[in-house]
Homo-oligomer: A and B are copies of this chain.
Amino acid sequence: MNIAALAGGVGGAKFAHGLAQIIYPRIHTNNHELIREDSWRLADHSLTVVVNVGDDFDHLGLRICPDLDTVIYTLAGIANPETGWGTAGETWHAMDMLGRYGGETWFRLGDRDLGMHLFRTAALRQGRRLTDIVADACGRLGVAARVLPATDSPVPTIVETDQGALAFQEYFVHRRCEPAVRDVRFDRIESAQPTGEVIAALDAADLVVVCPSNPFVSIDPILALGDLRERLKRKPVVAVSPIIGGQAVKGPAAKMLRELGYEPSPLSVARHYADFLDMFVIDRVDAGQTLEIERAGIRVLVTDALMKSVEDRARLAHDVIQFAHQA
C-alpha cells in the first residue's frame, strides 16, 4: 500500500512522523506496542510526504525552506522537541553575532540549522533541483520516507492583511500572525507545476492523507499546483483535523478561519476539502460535529487527535490508517 501524505508546518511534520513510525517500524524503534503488533501488516507499505514550499524564502543570502526542514528534521528524529522546528540541542552563535552587528535576527537560524541552508543554497546555485537536494539530505539523515517538495518552482505565499500584503514569513514569524488575514494567494502559481515525482507519487498512492496542517497556508499551496486538486478527487483521501476544540494546536489556523469568515471548527476544514475528501479524523472534543460532517458525504473517525508525545503521533497515524483500511 502506497501512502502519499500532504504536509506543512509542525502539526503536519508530527503526523508524518507518526505515519513513518508505523510504516518503517525497523527504523523508528520508539513506536509503542500497538504499532509493533501491526507492523507485519504494514511491511509492504511505503510513505511519500509531499511538502508545502509556499513558505520558502530568501533571507540573508540563503534559501530557507521552513516546512521542508521541519518535516525532514522531524522524520530524522533530530527536531527540537520543544519548538517543533529547528534541531534538538541547537546553538545560536551565528545569530548572536549577527545581532551584535545589528543584523536581522527575527527569523531564528540555529547553527546546526544553518548547515542545511548552506547546503541547499550552494546546491541550488549549482543548478540542482530542490527535489534532488532534499533527497540527498534525507538520505544522509537516514530518513526512510520519501520527502518531496510539492514543486521545484518558487511559489511564495502572500498573505493579504489589514496591514497590506505580507510575504508569509513576514506575516508568520516577524509579525507573529498579528495582522488580520483578508486573503491568501500564491505568487506565480499559474506557471508553476508539481514535480513529476509528486504526480507519480499521487498516481501510485492507494491512499492520500492530508496531515493536520493549516488548510490555507500549508495544504492549499500544494493543491493549487497544476491539477493536483482534481487528481485527489480520483483517490481515497483522508484528512486529519488541525482544529481541536475550536483551537489550532499550533499556529494561526483558527485565527485565519475566523478572519476569513468561517467558524474555527473541524466542520469548516472538512467543508474546505469537501470536493475531494472521503474521510475525516476529528478529536473526541469535536464529536458533536460528526453528523454534520457526514452529511457532506464524508466518513468520520472520532479519536484522540492531539499529539503530545512521539507515541501519540504513531497511535494517531495507526488509527487513521486502520480507519482508511476499513473504509
Contact = CB atoms under 8 A, between A and B. Distances in A.
Interface of A: 59-63, 87, 90-91, 93-104, 109-116, 118-119, 121-123, 125, 136-137, 140-141
A130 to B, nearest CB: 14
A103 B140 CA distance: 11
Given A101-B140, A111-B114, 18 more contacts: A60-B121, A61-B61, A61-B63, A87-B97, A90-B93, A93-B110, A94-B118, A95-B115, A97-B112, A97-B114, A97-B119, A100-B140, A102-B119, A103-B115, A103-B118, A103-B119, A104-B122, A109-B118
A101 B137 contact: yes
Given A61-B63, A94-B94, A101 B116 contact: yes
Contacts of A99: 115
B98 A115 contact: yes
Chain copies in complex: 2
A87 to B, nearest CB: 8
Nearest to A103: B119
Contacts of A91: 91, 93, 111
Contact of A97 (B93, B104, B115, B121): B115
Contacts of A115: 93-101, 103
Contacts of A119: 60, 97-98, 101-103
Contact of A61 (B90, B110, B125): B125
Contacts of A102: 119, 136, 140
A116 B59 CA distance: 14
A110 B61 CA distance: 17
A99 to B, nearest CB: 8
Nearest to A93: B111
Nearest to A101: B119
A61 B97 contact: no
A131 B176 CA distance: 34
Contacts of A94: 94, 111-112, 114-115, 118
